[in-house]
């Protein structure tokens, strides 16, 4: 059955532009699995737009997260990238290798979150994908760990999340990942995509964003403490910093202009200043005043 279908599929693929037939066949071979967040893109125009948004050059290493049935992969293969798709679903992997045998040495079957990215590329790389929405935050935390290698990211996410990541301070959607990503990347919201562009259609609308690594090599403060301060204050986002900072710094003394604000009012630079102040507070005491 599989052999027959893959023969048909390559015939259809080479001899016709009938994406509908191609998609039906793809979906017979890769049954969408909810637990893997599988909503396959069915609109080739959207795949083209996503691929075109990646600021990569020929020969650059591009990691695609979750190629699925390959709608976006096909567009990426048209560009001469060093493309490394990472897919967790063995059914998709089998389908993709059948369709593009040239991916044999490149397609990685596994969990992106568990991948040692430095082993894939010890130089710079780009990340692209229609992300599995249920793990998109974890993907970004992983990207942040490897931030000095990541030149750019173009990805599709749940629309609200995409908007939140690209928002500036002051909006109530602005959160932990917005600050952390904006510390090291310029984040742009590109366009929205309707549920009807996928099979099966997701319950939510989608949005595509682009992240470009900025020039910041090191923040002007202790970076681990910065991350703790951002997480600690946003975990109690309705409180003033004066109160929420106690989750990071036990004994608060003295005064500082940002203590009367709420975390969503602070930009990256403000969080850097706050972190410097917290470091100074702790350093001026005989014992550590940080919470474990």
| Residue choice 6, 69, 167, 244 for contact with ligand SAH (CB under 6 A) | 69
Q: Is 88 in the site for ligand SAH (CB under 6 A)?
A: yes
- Tokens, residue 111: 């969990």
Q: Is 8 in the site for ligand SAH (CB under 6 A)?
A: no
| Residue choice 25, 65, 209, 227 for contact with ligand SAH (CB under 6 A) | 65
- Measure CA of the first residue to CA of the last residue in the chain; give whole Å: 58
Distance CA 232, CA 150 (A): 26
Residue (126 or 263) nearer to ligand SAH, CB = 126
Given a contact cutoff of 8 angstroms between Cβ atoms, the answer to whether 107 and 132 are in contact is: no
Stretch that binds ligand SAH, among 4-12, 80-88, 187-195, 269-277 (CB under 6 A): 80-88
Produce one character per residue of 131-158: b if its CB has 16 or more CB atoms within 10 Å, e if not: bbbebbbebbebbbebbebbbbbbbbbb
How many residues of this chain interact with ligand SAH, rule: CB under 6 A? 25
Site string for ligand SAH, 96-135 (x = CB under 6 A): ---------------xxx---------------xx-x--x
Q: Is 72 in the site for ligand SAH (CB under 6 A)?
A: yes
Residue (67 or 232) nearer to ligand SAH, CB = 67
Q: Is 202 in the site for ligand SAH (CB under 6 A)?
A: no
3-state secondary structure 58-99: CCCEEEEECCCCCHHHHHHHCCCCEEEEEECCHHHHHHHHHH
Binders of ligand SAH among residues 222 to 241 (CB under 6 A) are none
Shortest distance, position 148 Cβ to ligand SAH, whole Å: 22
Distance CA 275, CA 185 (A): 19
Residue (40 or 185) nearer to ligand SAH, CB = 40
Count, residues in the chain: 292
| Residue choice 71, 179, 219, 249 for contact with ligand SAH (CB under 6 A) | 71
Q: Is 68 in the site for ligand SAH (CB under 6 A)?
A: yes
Residue 173: strand, helix, or coil: coil
Q: Is 167 in the site for ligand SAH (CB under 6 A)?
A: no
Residue (31 or 238) nearer to ligand SAH, CB = 31
3-state secondary structure 97-143: HHHCHHHCCCCEECCHHHCCHHHHCCCCEEEEEECCHHHHHHHHHHH
Site string for ligand SAH, 13-52 (x = CB under 6 A): -----------------------xxxxxx-----------
DSSP structural state of residue 265? G
- Tell which residue, 162, 184, 181, has the closest CA to residue 173: 162
**Interacting residues with ligand SAH (CB under 6 A):** 36-41, 65-69, 71-72, 86-89, 92, 111-113, 129-130, 132, 135
């Amino acid at each position: 059955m599989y052999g027959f279908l893959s023969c048909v599929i390559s015939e259809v693929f080479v001899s016709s532009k009938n994406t509908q037939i191609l998609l039906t066949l793809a979906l017979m071979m890769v049954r969408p699995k909810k637990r893997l967040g599988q909503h396959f893109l069915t609109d080739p125009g959207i795949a083209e737009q996503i691929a075109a948004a990646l600021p990569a050059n020929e020969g650059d290493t591009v990691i695609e997260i979750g190629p699925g049935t390959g709608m976006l992969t096909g567009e990426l293969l048209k560009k001469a990238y060093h493309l490394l798709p990472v897919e967790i679903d063995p059914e998709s992997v089998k389908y993709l290798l059948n369709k593009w045998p040239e991916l044999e040495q490149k397609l990685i079957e596994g969990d992106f979150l568990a991948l040692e990215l430095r082993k894939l590329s010890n130089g710079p790389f780009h990340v692209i994908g229609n992300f599995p929405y249920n793990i998109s935050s974890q993907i970004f935390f992983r990207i942040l760990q490897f931030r000095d290698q990541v030149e750019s990211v173009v990805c599709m996410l749940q629309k609200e999340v995409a908007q939140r990541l690209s928002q500036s301070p002051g909006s109530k959607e602005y959160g932990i990942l917005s600050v952390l990503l904006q510390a090291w990347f310029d984040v742009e919201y590109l366009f929205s995509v309707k549920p009807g562009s996928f099979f099966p259609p997701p319950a939510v609308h989608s949005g595509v964003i682009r992240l470009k690594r900025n020039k910041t090599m090191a923040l002007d403060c202790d970076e681990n403490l910065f991350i703790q301060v951002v997480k600690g204050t946003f975990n109690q986002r309705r409180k003033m910093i004066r109160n929420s900072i106690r989750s990071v710094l036990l004994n608060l003394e003295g005064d500082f202009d940002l203590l009367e604000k709420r975390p969503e009012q602070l930009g990256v630079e403000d969080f850097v200043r706050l972190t410097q102040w917290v470091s100074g507070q702790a350093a001026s005491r005989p014992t550590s005043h940080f919470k474990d």
